[in-house]
Structure 1
């Protein structure tokens, strides 16, 4: 039985919601509208989790700051169109049940740490009736991109949680690296966008294949 408050920090894209088609579409439109070569699908998937600024730098190392700003604007405009048409990234199967189970445990605090902006995150949470599930939302608007640990360090300081009482859950090596740098546990999930080899290379505390295993592993890590 969990005896004291524990912090479970969830990534969003590729962990709770399957947003790949929206991200690929918006990225494709943004690059095409700026007259730039459209990145390959696998390359776009590989940068999900980073802030848009960092993601576009990785996708095209020759971009200047003006081009990056234009790409971000085009990307967000495309995403806004999706939202206006009520096209929202779907939750992974069993994600909400998993969150409901953790939420019922009064000794667990839920938070989100994402490369998404706050506006986009809030739209997704509202669409899936998840606004009340999370005590804190850490987004790329206010913190450096993953794998910089600042958003985790700030989160633990705000909530007064010790490093040994926190775990980061995510589908990319950016999530695992960020957790390592913050000095906390990490769980890699295999239903997202990075391969098992990339996740294993980062040596997370644990790796899971479904939400049932994730819930069990969280309880195991914090038991005692």
Structure 2
């Protein structure tokens, strides 16, 4: 049976921190809000930004939404390309393609930005499915996004022996929690924006410190299936 592997984008495939944080600061400064310290700003990397503005800046929903739209002004033109692909990601994607995985992106970033970034870095050909957030339709949170991506991939989550066939790779607790809820094998990565402690608390089944370790996990799981 065909296996599925889903990747988060920010902090997993690409290091997008520079563009996101510059665009957050741009939006906050435009409306006269205090810019949080760097440690707090790291918490904006992963969750929906409307949620993060409310949680970390004390905004109402309406204020957070207004700030988010201002963020998009800069991010949509400049910030999305202040970004770089992590080392060895292309090799990992090529390996998954060769081994005939169905490969998907499942990101809380707006889908059109995700597609622009993947096109920019010439990664799009590796992916069978790309699903991101859609603010207008209300598709915002990781579980819903992952659920849609799995449906579009069209593969079973388990084989006839109950072995799981879908992997989710991500750097934040939101990725791990969604994967666990939906029956995927969760792989947390520490080279992105989450910490090992956060990933452990979310019950990641595997924690990888670099991209090569993700490939090792896939090889290990393949060996276990063949036993």
CA distance in structure 2 between the aligned counterparts of 1:123 and 1:159, rounded to whole angstroms: 21
Deviation at 1:207, TM superposition (A): 0.8
- The yes-or-no answer on 1:130 pairing with 2:127 is no
Mind listing any 5+ residue stretches in structure 2 that lack a counterpart? 158-163
Which ranges of 4 or more aligned residues in structure 1 deviate by more than 3 Å? none
The equivalent of 1:120 in structure 2 is 113
SS at match of 1:150: helix
CA distance in structure 1 between the aligned counterparts of 2:196 and 2:211, rounded to whole angstroms: 16
RMSD: 1.7
- Per-residue CA deviation, residues 174-194 of structure 1 (Å, 9 max, x unaligned), is 111111121221001110111
Contact 1:88 1:124 in 2 (8 A): no
TM-score by length of 2: 0.88
Deviation at 1:21, TM superposition (A): 1.3
Aligned residue among 68, 71, 86 for 2:67:
71
Structure with greater contact order relative to length (CA < 8 Å, sep ≥ 6)? 1
SS at match of 2:105: strand
SS at match of 2:187: strand
CA distance in structure 2 between the aligned counterparts of 1:10 and 1:57, rounded to whole angstroms: 27
Contact 1:12 1:113 in 2 (8 A): yes
SS at match of 1:129: coil
Mind listing any 5+ residue stretches in structure 1 that lack a counterpart? none
Deviation at 1:87, TM superposition (A): 3.8
The equivalent of 1:212 in structure 2 is 212
Deviation at 1:94, TM superposition (A): 1.1
| 1:1-224 mapped onto 2 (5 Å cutoff) | 4-60=1-57, 62-82=58-78, 87-106=81-100, 108-141=101-134, 143-146=139-142, 149-163=143-157, 164-223=164-223, 224=225
Deviation at 1:222, TM superposition (A): 3.9
SS at match of 1:153: helix
Count of paired positions: 215
Deviation at 1:160, TM superposition (A): 2.8
Deviation at 1:152, TM superposition (A): 2.1
Contact 2:128 2:153 in 1 (8 A): no
TM-score by length of 1: 0.89
CA distance in structure 1 between the aligned counterparts of 2:9 and 2:191, rounded to whole angstroms: 12
Contact 1:6 1:109 in 2 (8 A): yes
Q: Bigger CA drift: 170-179 or 155-164? A: 155-164
Deviation at 1:144, TM superposition (A): 3.0
- Per-residue CA deviation, residues 25-52 of structure 1 (Å, 9 max, x unaligned), is 1111111111111122222212312122
Deviation at 1:54, TM superposition (A): 2.0
